[in-house]
């Protein structure tokens, strides 16, 4: 019996340890240094706390943070206004490793919340992001994931991704995203960071498909790829060469034909030789020597 209880206790401790890998304290959102208690702000604060917890973090809620500050009688910690040392002290007070704080700006129903995550051990800001609520054509920041997307960007940015689903109308194509070759999943999908991605699909027999595509957090974006074939493709040129040129041979005139030119040159050469011989024979060469007056040398 005791052994069974020990095993259950160990399992509970293991689960608690896995859940409490990171303790995150969420401060109340403030405006101009004072806590913003408006209904829209309270609503989005609750969404942020829920999103942080959904990532497997142990969350110390804003209400628990305020209670701990009041109990310790340290009211200055309620208005840290982004100061790293102040946020680190608050984190140590509530036993957190990370403190999420935020400032609310904007006018009327349209508000921008500037969120930051501070590492308690170093007192330095880890990351920051913005969350838009109440803006026209934007439903509580759903275009970038809302409160859930903001929490991911702050605490686990590598998971801030969406999916591209490719539908290719040709086999053997190669897909490049931002200049790097990617391997598609079994159904033509690939996960990519949120933002604008440069897509290029290539095939040796088709024109390239090039397009800029916006990836949204937690959503699948369809990418239908339709490519146009080249008029003449490489394998056709190698396998079935064709030559449509027509070659016409034209005989040269009679006086330029070899069997006329060569004999004529031969006859000319013989004639020149004979003429030179005659000229040499008739030239007066004498071995005697004569002087003026006709006397011999």
Tens digits of per-residue pLDDT, 211-224?
999 999 989 999 99
Beta bridge partners of 174: 202
For the ranges 122-131, 137-146, 231-240, 287-296, the one whose mean pLDDT is highest: 122-131
The mean-pLDDT minimum among 119-123, 207-211, 266-270, 283-287 falls in 283-287
Residues of the chain with CATH 2.60.40.1120: 161-239
Residues of the chain with CATH 3.40.50.10610: 18-159
Half-sphere exposure of 292 (CA within 13 A, CB side): 0
pTM, two decimal places: 0.63
d(CA 147, CA 41): 12
Enter the tokens of residue 284.
Answer: 């007066």
Task: Say if CB 222 and CB 167 are below 8 A apart.
Answer: yes
Give CATH for domain 18-159: 3.40.50.10610
Task: Say if CB 120 and CB 98 are below 8 A apart.
Answer: yes
Per-residue pLDDT tens digits for 18-33? 445 899 999 999 887 7
Report, at the CATH architecture level, how domain 161-239 is classified: Sandwich (2.60)
């Amino acid at each position: 019996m005791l052994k069974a209880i020990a095993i259950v206790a160990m399992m509970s401790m293991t689960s608690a340890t896995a859940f409490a890998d990171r303790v995150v304290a969420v401060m109340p959102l403030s405006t101009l240094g004072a806590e913003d208690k408006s209904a829209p702000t309270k609503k989005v604060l609750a969404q942020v706390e829920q999103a942080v917890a959904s990532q497997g973090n142990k969350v110390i809620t804003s209400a628990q943070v305020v209670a701990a500050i009041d109990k310790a009688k340290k009211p200055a910690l309620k208005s840290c206004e982004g100061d790293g040392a102040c946020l680190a002290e608050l984190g140590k007070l509530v036993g957190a490793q990370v403190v999420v704080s935020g400032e609310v700006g904007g006018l009327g129903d349209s508000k921008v919340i500037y969120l930051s995550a501070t590492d308690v051990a170093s007192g330095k800001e880890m990351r920051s992001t913005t969350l838009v609520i109440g803006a026209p054509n934007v439903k509580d920041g759903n275009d970038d994931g809302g409160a859930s997307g903001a929490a991911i960007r702050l605490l686990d940015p590598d998971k801030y991704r969406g999916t591209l689903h490719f539908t290719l109308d040709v086999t053997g194509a190669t897909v490049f995203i931002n200049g790097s070759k990617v391997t598609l999943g079994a159904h033509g999908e690939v996960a990519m960071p949120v933002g604008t991605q440069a897509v290029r699909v290539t095939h040796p027999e088709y024109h390239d498909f090039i397009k800029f595509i916006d990836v949204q957090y937690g959503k699948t974006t369809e990418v239908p790829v339709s490519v146009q074939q080249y008029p003449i493709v490489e394998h056709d040129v190698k396998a079935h060469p064709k030559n449509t040129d027509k070659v016409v041979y034209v005989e040269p005139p009679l006086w330029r034909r070899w069997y006329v030119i060569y004999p004529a040159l031969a006859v000319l050469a013989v004639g020149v030789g004979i003429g030179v011989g005659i000229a040499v024979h008739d030239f007066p060469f004498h071995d005697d020597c004569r002087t003026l007056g006709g006397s011999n040398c």
